[in-house]
Structure 1
Amino acid sequence: MSQIESLFVTRLYRARLSEHGPAIDPEEMEASCYSIAEDDEAGQEWCEENGYPGYTSYASLTDLPWRFPIFADLVTSLDAHVAAFAADLEFDLDGRKLVLEDLWINILPQGGMHSSHLHPHSVISGTTYVAMPEGASALKLEDPRSGRMMAAPTRTKTARRELQPFIYMKPDVGDVLLWESWLRHEVPMNMSEEERISVSFNYRWD
């Protein structure tokens, strides 16, 4: 009898941020993101010079947990989530840990998008969601085998989830998503009139 099985699974972690660490008030986090964005002139200039829609602190600030206690609480929570995901992935960390490498704010206005990319030199990447108004774009994840499917036909629209070439994850405020950093992903255009706010991060093997 023939047998078909799935191999080389790509894992995606999704949880409520509140499952680990201190309680984080989403309204306080949103206010903190806007306060930082308003004061971060270097970040504003970088966004303008590089045609980045909205605001990101990625190229300007490296000390968010020091600036606002709520970001220190966030890191405590993220550390626990990443440890849980690493355990699920059955990584052999050789007695070492995955530690936060960088953490940054994203404020995406209507019409803004973040093109397909990955996160080199990191092990686990992710995002937690601060504001997701109606119509805000989901996270789009790409099948990592895409570049090797040279002559493969397209999948049917009703193909099983694990066979789809792209997966769209629509998170809620207070969710955290984690994936291995080599997984290509993007944020399609924000169709909401309101801003989509998230905090993204990378973890490296220390």
Structure 2
Amino acid sequence: MPQIESLFVTRLYRAELREFGKPIDPQELENSCLVIAQDDEAGQTWCEENGYPGYTSYASLTDLPWRFPVFADLKEALDRHVVEFAEDLEFDLDGRKLVLEDLWINILPEGGTHSSHLHPHSVISGTTYVSMPEGASALKLEDPRSARMMAAPPRKKGARRELQTFIHMKPKVGEVLLWESWLRHEVPLNMAEDERISVSFNYRWD
């Protein structure tokens, strides 16, 4: 009998943010994101100049955990989740740690998208979800081998999940998703009338 096994697995971590760290009030976190977006003129200018739909603090605010207590609590929880994921990945960190490098707010309005991208110069990336109204975009993850498939035929529509080219993850408010930073991903068109709010982050090997 032939033997077939799966090799070079891509891991995705999914958990409730509240599993680690101090309890975070979802409404406080959402209100903080909205207030920051309203006051961050540099971020608003960057979004307008770069055609970014909605708002992101990615290019303007680099120290949210030091500015706002709710983001300090968020960092504490994320640090614990990243430790769990790194252990699952069986990283040999050689006595060093994975430390938070960037943490930023994303507010995506109706009709907004975030095109396919990856996060260079970091090890683990992820997002925690603050507001996901009915119809809000899922997270679309792409098979990292796509660029190497060349003349391969497409997968069948009902292909097993681990063989599909794209996976759509529909997260819930209060969840955190983690993946290795080389994994290409995007946020498709937001069909919700209300804003989709999330906080994304990168961890580097320090």
Q: Calculate the TM-score normalised by the size of structure 2.
A: 1.00
User: SS where residue 27 of structure 1 aligns?
Assistant: helix
- Identical positions, percent: 83
Q: Does residue 164 in structure 1 map to residue 147 in structure 2?
A: no
Per-residue Cα deviation, 1:130-165 (whole angstroms, up to 9, x for no partner): 000000000000000000100111011110000000
Partner-residue secondary structure (3-state), 2:59 = coil
Does the alignment pair 1:24 with 2:27?
no
- Counterpart in 2 of 1:118? 118
Name the structure 1 match of 2:132. 132
Report the CA distance between 1:19 and its aligned residue: 0.5
Residue in 2 that maps onto 1:36? 36
| Superposition TM-score, scaled by structure 1 size | 1.00
Q: Which residue of 1 aligns with 2:179?
A: 179
What secondary structure does 2:137 align onto? coil
Q: CA RMSD in A?
A: 0.4
Shift of 1:62: 0.6
Deviation track 1:68-90 (CA, whole Å, cap 9, x = no partner) reads 10000000000000000000000
Match of 1:78 in 2: 78
Distance 2:37 2:166 in 1: 32
**Residue of structure 2 equivalent to 1:5:** 5
**Shift, 1:63, TM fit:** 1.0
AA of the residue aligned to 1:26:
P
Amino acid of the structure 2 residue aligned with 1:62: T
Give, in whole Å, the separation in 2 of the partners of 1:47 and 1:33. Answer: 16
The CA distance in 2 between the partners of 1:24 and 1:156, in whole Å, is 42
C-alpha separation between the residues in 2 aligned to 1:101 and 1:205? 9
**C-alpha displacement at 1:66, in angstroms?**
1.5
Q: Equivalent residue for 1:192?
A: 192
- Unmatched runs of 5 consecutive residues or more in structure 2: none
* 1:104-136 Cα distance to aligned partner (Å, 9 max, x none): 000000000000000000000000000000000
Distance 2:144 2:65 in 1: 32
TM superposition outliers: structure 1 runs of 4+ over 4 Å: none
State the distance in 2 between where 1:189 and 1:26 align: 24
